[in-house]
Amino acid sequence: MSEQVGARSGAQSGVQGGARADAAGARATPAVSPVLEVRQVVKTYSVGRSLIPKRRPVLTAVDGISLSLAAGETLGVVGESGCGKSTLAKLALGLETPTSGTVELMGRSLASASRTWRSSAIQLVMQDPYSSLNPRMTVYDIVAEAFVAHPLLAARSERRALVVEMLGLVGLGPHQLEKFPHQLSGGQRQRVGIARALAPKPSIMVCDEPVSALDVSVQAQVINLLVSLQSSLGLSYVFISHDLSIVRHVSDRIAVIYLGRIVEEGPSETVYTQPAHPYTEALLASVATAEFDADGSPAKKPPRIRGELPDPLNPPSGCPFRSRCYKAQDICESEAPDLLPLVSQGHRARCHFPEVDHHQINRTPTTSRMEQQ
Ligand SMILES: Nc1ncnc2c1ncn2[C@@H]1O[C@H](COP(=O)(O)OP(=O)(O)OP(=O)(O)O)[C@@H](O)[C@H]1O
Ligand code: SF4
Ligand SMILES: [Mg+2]
């Protein structure tokens, strides 16, 4: 076995960050060193049609994001379409090169890591199980693809057994090996996508909207599968979604992104029940809330978001959220707020007027969409 395989096996053999505290949902802050560390990463794209490249407008998809992921932890990344979630995922996977900033996997710079090592460290579960699987490949070929691309990961003689093992992990039997994607249901296809990601035995999985293309009836099954794989294999997840109720259900911590920047970050339950940033409050407005507080008074509902995401080529001055913010004041136009710590531990927000003396939004009696299934 290669040095690369050895590097991943420790994490896969059961390093648990201790992040998921109990089944009831109380989550503790992980206390182990990060498996993924993103530091001040910026990603810009030249877009538009000018013949002179330097005159092309520059779109900043990711604007100075820093985050870390501990072993066994799930970091939820949430935000509207176009806010930079997938670009961040691609940067973490090494599929895009940062314009500036650094990405480290298990203490090792992504820039200097080989593709085989990277493949055994971090894998992607994609959004759409219909388009992400090659219709001309069988289930066996799809799951074994990583071994063909990176022969050092598994000897030829081991591959079939490994593919069967991966299918078993996602609840599919060996009788599915010779099937083509069109012969599978949406849920089965996504299971194949997960088995393909598991094949190189990664320590980290980036799940980019892994259930949003699925029928609601199978979303919970796939989420539950991901959660159980995490605890049995000691995986760490970056879980991306535009749906805060799903992210809250699976995550230890949540980072809320707006126009390429983290605007709020903190323990999952804190962000969910005590959002400090008006954008997070607005995202929460789309999640079902209780009609009444525990004392019988009408539950305080967060304000709904107004307007569309601004043109990322021409974002507002100062705070980029100000054009949609119900709290905006003069300073919000002239000064961009920093991401600053709040009262509760590990909770940060990028707002001149964060909600600190917080009303605890009463969401506990209601069940999230995932829990209802
Ligand atoms: N290769 C590229 N060239 C130019 N612009 C890009 C490129 N990739 C992404 N972008 C732009 O970067 C911004 C962030 O895109 P990204 O795909 O990361 O958003 P997202 O949050 O994943 O959205 P969605 O929820 O719709 O998947 C968007 O404005 C997008 O148009
Ligand atoms: S800084 Fe101002 S505009 Fe931005 S989110 Fe806070 S209150 Fe709203
Ligand atoms: Mg995306």
3-class SS string, 49-75: CCCCHHHCCEEEEEEEEEEEEECCCEE
Distance 93 CA to ligand 1 centre (A): 15
Alpha-carbon distance of 64 to 280, in angstroms, equals 19
Average pLDDT of the segment spanning 48-56: 71
pLDDT of 322 > 70? The answer is yes
User: 33 or 106, which is more confident?
Assistant: 106
10 Cβ contact list (under 8 Å, min separation 6): none
Chain segment 80-104, per-residue pLDDT in tens: 999 999 999 999 999 999 999 999 9
Which ligand sits closest to the CA of 242? 1
Average pLDDT of the segment spanning 334-339: 96
According to the model, what pLDDT value does residue 213 have? Answer: 87
Among residues 222, 257, 217, 220, which one has the least CA distance to residue 368? Answer: 220
Any atom of ligand 1 within 6 Å of the Cβ of 45:
yes
Question: What is the reported pTM?
Answer: 0.85
Average pLDDT of the segment spanning 129-136: 89
* Both tokens assigned to 160: 């079939």
Any atom of ligand 2 within 6 Å of the Cβ of 325:
yes
Most confidently modeled range among 7-21, 50-64, 318-332:
318-332
Write out the residues surrounding ion ligand 3, Cβ under 5 A: 85-86
Confidence of residue 288 (pLDDT cuts 50, 70, 90): low
Residue nearest to atom 3 of ligand 2 (CA): 322
* Both tokens assigned to 262: 């983290």
Nearest atom in ligand 2 to 352's CA: 1
- Best of 59, 131, 259 for a ligand 1 pocket test (most atoms within 8 Å of beta carbon): 59
pLDDT of 361 > 50? The answer is no
Report the mean per-residue pLDDT for the chain.
Answer: 84
Which ligand sits closest to the CA of 91? 1
Sign for the pseudo-dihedral over CA of 48, 52, 56, 61: positive
- Best of 352, 355, 356 for a ligand 2 pocket test (most atoms within 8 Å of beta carbon): 352
Nearest atom in ligand 2 to 277's CA: 5
Return the CATH number of 3-257, one of 3.30.390.30, 3.40.50.300, 3.60.20.10, 3.30.420.40.
3.40.50.300
Alpha-carbon distance of 274 to 256, in angstroms, equals 13
Distance 92 CA to ligand 1 centre (A): 15
According to the model, what pLDDT value does residue 19 have? Answer: 36
Confidence of residue 301 (pLDDT cuts 50, 70, 90): low
pLDDT of 194 > 70? The answer is yes
pLDDT of 31 > 70? The answer is no
Any atom of ligand 2 within 6 Å of the Cβ of 328:
yes
Residue nearest to atom 5 of ligand 2 (CA): 351
Nearest atom in ligand 2 to 320's CA: 4
For the chain, percent of residues with pLDDT exceeding 90: 65
Chain segment 219-269, per-residue pLDDT in tens: 999 999 999 999 999 999 999 998 888 899 899 999 999 999 999 999 999
Any atom of ligand 1 within 6 Å of the Cβ of 315:
no
pLDDT of 359 > 80? The answer is no
pLDDT of 10 > 80? The answer is no
17-26, 86-95, 150-159, 180-189: the lowest-pLDDT one? 17-26
Any atom of ligand 1 within 6 Å of the Cβ of 212:
no
Alpha-carbon distance of 43 to 62, in angstroms, equals 5
Alpha-carbon distance of 343 to 240, in angstroms, equals 26
Distance 247 CA to ligand 1 centre (A): 20
According to the model, what pLDDT value does residue 21 have? Answer: 34
Nearest atom in ligand 2 to 337's CA: 1
Instruction: Please tell me whether residue 108 adopts helix, strand or coil conformation.
Output: strand
